[in-house]
């Protein structure tokens, strides 16, 4: 890859400040860049590196005001983080074009009843079951299992070791990373009088809509009846558990190690941090932000809240409460001292 700063700025609709003829050959972190790399500055914690970086160009926000001289050429955009993400996407497309995988490797198994689109890739040791429908441009990497009657939309990528059970539906332009499991049985067991449990058959399915990203080793269980639904634009990190009959709204993002209990419904455009736990059969309003390690025990009805703690409360109330909590040891000492004074026997 080799471009000029002028070409990159044109792609990003950016404004150039400096030498537009500089050559860009790679993308890098601002603190590690070489003389032919392009970097970005969005988090001001990294601003000191802007004055020392060897990068050829830095993507910055339009309102960025340098405190010192910067040797790199600046490309000013509305949002530096979004612009650099766009550049990474273009870079990835270029790399995929130059090393494009197509064709069917052997050994693998493809059912005679399966329907395969054009321009697809199927890696060695993949299994494609009866009645499967695979769209155009799909990539099925080695050791992927696709169960009977599953549908995979155009341009979806299934990385090595992905397991998709029967009767699932995956939309277009989805990315499912290694080790993810889609459509495993929901956790349903009925207690018996003798203390044992009997498995409740899970006869539903999983529907994943378009433009969804699913991280490595994430598990999405099939519904007991009906569907578990991941709506379009959802981004799931690694190691997430999505239980039976859960629904996740459009463009919601969820970080690693979060667990969502059965029949919970999470709204659109929510941001869920890592290790959050959701109780079952609750609803979370649109545009809810939930901090790391929070516990959501009941439904959240009001939109646009920022919640932390377990059970969750408003972040401002939490910080006030925590300020008091930190003072408890000193308050306990003072209370003990007051108690000694009050209970001390008067001298005769």
- For CA atoms 193, 196, 201, 204, give the dihedral sign: positive
Mean pLDDT of the chain: 95
Helix pair angle (5-12, 80-98), 10° resolution: 110
Q: What is the arithmetic mean of pLDDT over 212-231? A: 98
The alpha-carbon radius of gyration of the chain (Å, integer) is 27
3-state helix, strand, coil split of the chain in percent (to 5) is: 20, 30, 55
Q: What is the pLDDT confidence band of residue 185, given thresholds at 50, 70 and 90?
A: very high
Annotation says 231 is catalytic: no
In this structure, are residues 2 and 25 in contact, taking their beta carbons and an 8 Å threshold?
A: yes
Grade residue 340 by pLDDT with cuts at 50, 70 and 90: confident
- Domain-wise residue ranges, the chain: 3-98, 180-313
65 vs 56: CA distance, rounded Å: 19
Average pLDDT on 5-25 reads: 95
Residues 6+ apart with CB under 8 A from 328: none
Average pLDDT over residues 103-107: 96
Q: Which residues partner with 49 through β-bridges?
A: none
Rounded to 5 degrees, φ, ψ at 23 are -95, 135
The pLDDT value recorded for residue 98 is 56
Alpha carbons 189 and 121: distance in angstroms, whole number: 39
Give the whole-angstrom CA distance, residue 338 versus residue 334: 6
Angle among Cα 241, 198, 205 to the nearest 5 degrees reads 45
Rounded to two decimals, what is the model's pTM?
0.85
| Strand ranges (E), 42-120 | 57-61, 73-77, 103-104, 109-110, 115-116
How many helices (H) and strands (E) in the chain? 4, 40
Q: What is the pLDDT of residues 267-322, one digit of tens each?
A: 999 999 999 999 999 999 999 999 999 999 999 999 999 999 999 999 999 999 98
How many angstroms separate the Cα of 48 from the Cα of each of 45, 60, 62, 101, 345?
Answer: 8, 13, 18, 41, 64
Nearest to 173 by CA among 136, 206, 137, 210: 210
Q: What is the DSSP track for 146-213?
A: E-TT-EE-TT-EE-TT-EE-TT-EE-TT-EE-TT-EEEEPP--EEE-TTS-EEEPP---EEEE-TT-E
- Residues 115-143 have pLDDT tens digits of 999 999 999 999 999 999 999 999 999 99
Q: How far apart are the C-alpha atoms of 297 and 53, rounded to whole Å?
A: 47
The predicted pLDDT at position 97 comes to 64
Which one from 145, 166, 244, 281 is the annotated catalytic residue? 244
Share of the chain above pLDDT 70, in %: 97
Q: Is the pLDDT assigned to residue 145 strictly greater than 70?
A: yes
Residues 3-98: name the CATH superfamily: MurE/MurF, N-terminal domain (3.40.1390.10)
- CA dihedral angle for residue 236, residue 239, residue 244, residue 245, rounded to 10 degrees: -10
**pLDDT for position 90:** 86
The mean pLDDT of 175-201, rounded to a whole number, is: 96
Q: Do domains 3-98 and 180-313 have the same CATH topology?
A: no
Superfamily of domain 180-313: Hexapeptide repeat proteins (2.160.10.10)
Would you say the C-alpha torsion 129, 132, 137, 138 has a positive or negative sign?
negative
Is the dihedral angle over the CA atoms 261, 262, 263, 267 positive or is it negative?
positive
């Amino acid at each position: 890859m080799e471009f000029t700063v002028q070409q990159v700025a044109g792609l990003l609709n950016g404004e150039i400040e400096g030498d537009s003829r500089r050559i860009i050959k790679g993308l890098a972190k601002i603190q590690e860049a070489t003389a032919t790399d392009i970097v970005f500055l969005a988090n001001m914690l990294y601003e000191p590196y802007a004055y020392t970086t060897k990068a050829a160009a830095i993507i910055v926000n339009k309102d960025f005001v340098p405190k010192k001289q910067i040797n790199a050429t600046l490309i000013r955009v509305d949002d530096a983080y979004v612009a650099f993400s766009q550049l990474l996407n273009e870079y990835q497309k270029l790399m995929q074009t130059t090393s494009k995988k197509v064709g069917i490797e052997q050994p693998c198994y493809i059912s005679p009843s399966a329907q395969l689109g054009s321009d697809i890739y199927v890696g060695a040791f993949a299994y494609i079951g009866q009645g499967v429908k695979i769209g155009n441009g799909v990539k099925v990497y080695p050791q992927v299992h696709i169960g009977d009657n599953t549908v995979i939309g155009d341009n979806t990528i299934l990385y090595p070791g992905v397991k998709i059970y029967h009767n699932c539906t995956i939309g277009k332009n989805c990315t499912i990373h290694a080790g993810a499991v889609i459509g495993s049985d929901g956790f349903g067991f009925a207690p018996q009088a003798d203390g044992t449990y009997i498995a409740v058959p899970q006869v539903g399915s999983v529907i994943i809509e378009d433009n969804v990203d699913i991280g490595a080793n994430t598990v999405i269980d099939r519904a007991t009846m009906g569907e578990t639904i991941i709506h379009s634009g959802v981004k799931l990190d690694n190691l997430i558990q999505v239980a039976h009959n859960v629904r996740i709204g459009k463009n919601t993002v969820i970080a690693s190690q979060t667990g969502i209990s059965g029949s919970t419904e999470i709204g659109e455009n929510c941001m869920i941090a890592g290790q959050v736990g959701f109780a079952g059969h609750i609803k979370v309003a649109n545009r809810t932000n939930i901090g790391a390690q929070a516990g959501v025990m009941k439904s959240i009805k009001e939109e646009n809240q920022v919640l932390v703690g377990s059970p969750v409360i408003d972040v401002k109330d939490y910080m006030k409460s925590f300020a008091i909590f930190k003072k408890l040891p000193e308050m306990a000492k003072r209370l003990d001292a007051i108690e000694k004074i009050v209970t001390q026997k008067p001298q005769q």
